[in-house]
Structure 1
Amino acid sequence: MSALPLLAALLAAAPADANAPLVYRGDAGPGQGTKVVLIAGDHEYRSEETIPALARILAKRHGFECTVLFSLNAAGEIDPAADNIPGLEALADADLMVNFLRFKNLPDDQMAHFDAYLRRGGPVIGLRTATHAFKMSKDSKFANYDFQSKAVGFDGGFGEQVLGETWVGHYGKNHEMSTRLDLNEKQADHPILRGVEQAWVEAGGYWAEPLPGSTVLAFAQPLQGMTPDSPPAADKQPCPGAWVRTYRIPGASSAEDAGSGRVFTTTYGASEDLRNDGFRRMLVNACFWAAGLEEEIAPDLNVELVGPYQPTTFRHGGHVKGVRPADLAGWETPILPAAD
């Protein structure tokens, strides 16, 4: 590649400075003009790997503008345990939010950006622990988003009221029981399922019973083993593993607060789950659908990973230390860089 095209490629996916949000910009595709904000911050399932990998696919393969935000510590390093997500003002003009958070207690000035986005009915993708994205202080202005919220009309907080389910519990042991996602035959024509085959994930199951009005696209069948051909767990029947719905924030009263948005939720999405073509296709298709681009979904939509992807075996406290968002700029930087 000559010097000028190489420079252009680097600029397309590079933050302007070390403190700027990570932004991937595609130069062609049906996603041109569509802004996606993808947010990582869970303690176990390596959202800091899943989220930039998904963003690269959407940007490089399909032309979306993807802003990737992480929970950061005081040194500006990616830290799943940090209750600090700079850059959330990007939600103000976002066309889609992808949420992969867990038990966050963010300051009011940051939560205000979430609240404003949801009140205008912005579409949402929720992955794995997003059902329990927030564990808020009781004195927070936004305590109603807490996963255990008992606020009038806001039971279950963000998870239940937006995604359709809050945290319930595990339904299959991690690293011993993987999960097969069986497509709902009654929804075979749904745009999100176009081209999806043999969806299987390495994460153990979560139990879920989405709110009435949700449409289940795939049922999660826990398996007694860590390969796609492992037998079903004898004591575990399938339960919803991916669904769609629409939401409206309870109590919205003004015209600007009256939005109703599309939602896709899956109780999967660990970084190792993204290695499966079927699951990855479902997730990319869901982003198109939620953003109102379902007519652009083809069965052979390109969902190949972009650049080196080396997911870490997920566990609590297992994130790669010392990585900054700028370290992931460009299409070919590894996700994630190896620890020193």
Structure 2
Amino acid sequence: MQNKLSAFCCSFVVLWFGFICCAGETTSNSEQQAQQSEEWVTYTGNTGPGKGKHIVLISGDEEYRSEEALPMLAQILAKRLGFTCTVLFSLDPQSGVIDPNQQTNIPGLEALENADLMVIFTRFRELPPEQMRYIDDYLMAGKPVIGLRTATHAFHYSRNKEDQYAKYDFQSGVPGWENGFGSIVLGETWVSHHGDHGNEGTRAVINETHAAHPILKGVADIWGPTDVYTVGALNDATVLLYGQSTSGMSADAPINTEKEMMPIAWTRTYQLPGGNAGKAFTTTMGASIDFQSADLRRLLVNACFWATGLETAATQQVDVSVVSPYSPTMFGFDEFKRGQFPVDFRLERD
């Protein structure tokens, strides 16, 4: 009798332990499914000059941590200035995890259908037609665009060169689409590193001819550790900032006087073949670590005001401080933080 009772107790304990383990596994699976189901993050703007305007920010680059920079910028735009901002990411289609090396999947681009501004910071993406069509429709409508850093080479169709959107490729040879999105929309495609990549930074110099431009309001001192890009003959652009190479990657590094300055921020009017005209702002700065510069944040905030027709809102008093703690990762291939989901960038109260 005693042996039977002991056996019963052991069986009960095993069953109970198994129940607890299964319950824990169910909770873990539920949490994981919830993370995967949120493929983007939205910050609601309640008060401020941008109230009623919707900005869609598209991240997706392998090196410069756009997946960190754009949520930070979106939080400022929403919580300080009233814009409602949706941030999109390159995601692994199976796990839903943020993967900057995933070049063929950015869910949520349908948000562009009701967007007032598109901010793009991608590199070598080759999106499927069912996603890419939203970008194409947006640009054909002539709506405003802001491009950061690698947006000059935002797309590269190496897998399917016959894709209907392969004309967006940064090396496109399609008549009327030479050098693709970068050239047609932003005014320049990828050329080369002008600065010594990984050893030189960028010191911004205001173009005094356009010093009164609203995008430069309150902007005085920008330095970032990313190097200057080579920029050739810009297509009908107004250069606002030039970049000097610094001989070192610290803010007090001396200027490399042997290298000429290059445009690093400009505006222009773009028009796709058969589309409406729109305005664009581009800066070849913008790595997540560059945004430790308050004046670079101000430049981008002012550019968003300009792009959405709110130029008068750009004042020196605009608060461009970060909303949540911001510790950007140093740029570099495969240096991104693993295991992050879009939900990880949510604000506790939104």
Q: Would the aligned equivalents of 1:126 and 1:265 in 2 still touch at CA under 8 Å?
A: yes
Unaligned runs of 5+ in 1: 1-14, 334-340
Q: Return the alpha-carbon distance in structure 1 between the equivalents of residues 233 and 114 of structure 2.
A: 29
Tell me the distance in 2 between the aligned counterparts of 1:331 and 1:142: 38
- Partner residue of 1:78? 98
Aligned identity (percent) is 50
In structure 1, the residue matched to 2:296 is 279
Q: State the superposition RMSD in angstroms.
A: 1.6
SS across alignment from 2:37: coil
Residue among 294, 307, 314 paired with 1:290: 307
2:71 corresponds to which of 52, 72, 81? 52
The structure-2 alpha-carbon separation of the partners of 1:201 and 1:160, relative to structure 1 and needing over 3 Å to count, comes to same
**1:121 match:** 142
Query: Aligned AA for 2:308?
Result: A
Deviations 1:282-307 (CA, angstroms, capped at 9, x unpaired): 11111111111101111221111110
Tell whether the 8 Å contact from 2:148 to 2:284 is kept in structure 1 after alignment: yes
* Conserved 8 A contact 1:308-1:332: no
Distance 1:101 1:306 in 2: 23
The 3-state SS of whatever aligns with 2:68 is: helix
User: What letter corresponds to residue 339 of structure 2 in structure 1?
Assistant: G
CA distance in 1, matches of 2:282, 2:233: 9
Q: Choose which of 239, 243, 246 in structure 2 pairs with 1:220.
A: 243
2:257 is aligned with 1:234: yes
Name the aligned partner's letter for residue 21 of structure 1: W
The C-alpha deviation readout for 1:81-123, integer Å capped at 9, x for no partner, is: 1110000000011000000000001101111011000000110
Query: More helix by proportion, 1 or 2?
Result: 2
Give structure 1 regions of 4+ aligned residues with deviation exceeding 2 angstroms. 15-21, 209-212
- Does the CA-based 8 Å contact 2:188-2:235 persist in structure 1? no
Q: Secondary structure at the match of 2:232?
A: coil
Which structure has the greater CA radius of gyration? 2
- Measured in 1, the distance between the counterparts of 2:147 and 2:348 equals 24
Cα distance per residue 1:242-299 (max 9 Å; x no partner): 000010102x1xxxx4x21111000110000000011111111111111111011112
CA deviations on 1:101-157 (whole Å, 9 max, x unpaired) are 000011011110110000001100000000000001312110110000011111110
Q: Does 1:144 align with 2:167?
A: yes
Q: SS of the residue aligned with 2:133?
A: helix
Report 1:1-340 matches (<5 A).
18-73=37-92, 74-82=94-102, 83-136=104-157, 137-250=160-273, 252=274, 257=275, 259-330=276-347
Deviates more, 1:62-71 or 1:202-211: 202-211
Q: Which stretch of the first structure deviates more once superposed, 168-177 or 304-313?
A: 168-177
Is the alpha carbon distance of 1:210 and 1:243 closer, same or farther for their aligned partners in structure 2, counting shifts above 3 Å?
Answer: farther
SS in 1 for 2:131: helix
- Gapped regions of structure 2 (runs ≥ 5): 1-33
Q: 1:279 to 1:331 in 2, by over 3 A?
A: farther
Number of aligned pairs? Answer: 313
